[in-house]
């Protein structure tokens, strides 16, 4: 086990102020009704004790969109975690 103190962590992680500003702007646009945010799509994969989630959104007026695909599996065969 490794334990890190705050100074060690701060030495490895930098704060991206531009990214924070973009996230703030996204939430502002969401609050103003300018975000199209469809329901999340979820695919269950019971034979592998897992699921896959697909999330997407865009801000009206922008020429880009976001998509996020995330998965989670409770038992990974090669690690042999108990369920």
Per-residue confidence band for 80, with pLDDT thresholds at 50, 70 and 90: low
pLDDT in tens, 35-59: 999 999 999 999 989 999 999 999 9
Position 19 in a domain: yes
pLDDT in tens, 13-25: 988 999 999 999 9
Q: Which residue segment(s) compose the domain that 46 sits in?
A: 6-73
Position 80 in a domain: no
CB-based contacts of 29-36 (< 8 A; 24+ apart in sequence) = 29/59, 34/59, 34/60, 34/61, 35/59, 35/60, 36/60
* pLDDT for position 20: 95
Position 23 in a domain: yes
* pLDDT for position 44: 96
Mean pLDDT for all residues in the chain: 90
* pLDDT for position 78: 58
- Structural domains of the chain, count: 1
CA distances from 72 to 26, 48, 49, 50, 79 (A): 26, 10, 8, 5, 14
Whole-number Å distance between alpha carbons of 61 and 66: 14
Position 38 in a domain: yes
Position 1 in a domain: no
């Amino acid at each position: 086990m490794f334990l890190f103190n705050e100074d060690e962590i701060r030495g490895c992680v930098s704060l991206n102020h531009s990214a924070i500003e973009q996230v703030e702007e996204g939430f502002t646009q969401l609050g103003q009704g300018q975000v199209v945010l469809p329901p999340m799509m979820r695919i269950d994969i019971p034979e592998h004790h897992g699921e896959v989630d697909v999330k997407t959104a865009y801000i009206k007026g922008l020429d880009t969109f976001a998509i996020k695909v995330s998965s989670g599996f409770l038992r990974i065969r090669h690690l042999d975690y108990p369920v």
